[in-house]
């Protein structure tokens, strides 16, 4: 469903969502009831609040060791950021010992 929603950002009416659910083989009756009953609304609101508090304004957003990653999102850059955080953590641990 995630891919469907991203691929069809201009077509997200209730009817569109139900059609996508059917195309994916979901139970469209249950899906329709969940839409009407706003199932998951509390979880979504909590996620939005968490994103706001973290300074997240879009996706993807990455955090490395609790700090927001400001660089590129390619695998090499992210790997370097993780490795640098690991080295900092090792140095801090060694200094504390």
Dihedral (CA of 48, 49, 52, 53) sign:
negative
Q: Please give the pLDDT value at position 79.
A: 95
CB-based contact 63:69 (threshold 8 Å): yes
How does 51-66 read in b/e, with b if 16+ C-beta sit within 10 Å?
eeeeebeeeeebebee
What does the pLDDT look like over 5-44, one tens digit per residue?
Answer: 999 999 999 999 999 999 999 999 999 999 999 999 999 9
The two tokens of residue 81 are 């950021």
The two tokens of residue 90 are 């090792």
DSSP state of 11: -
């Amino acid at each position: 469903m995630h891919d469907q929603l991203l691929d069809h950002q201009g077509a997200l009416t209730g009817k569109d969502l139900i059609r996508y659910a059917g195309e994916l083989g979901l139970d469209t009756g249950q899906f329709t009831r969940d839409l009407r009953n706003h199932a998951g609304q509390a979880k979504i609101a909590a996620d939005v609040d968490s994103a706001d508090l973290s300074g997240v304004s879009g996706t993807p957003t990455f955090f490395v060791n609790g700090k927001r990653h400001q660089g590129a999102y390619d695998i090499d850059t992210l790997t370097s950021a993780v490795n640098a955080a690991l080295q900092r953590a090792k140095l801090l641990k060694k200094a504390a010992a």
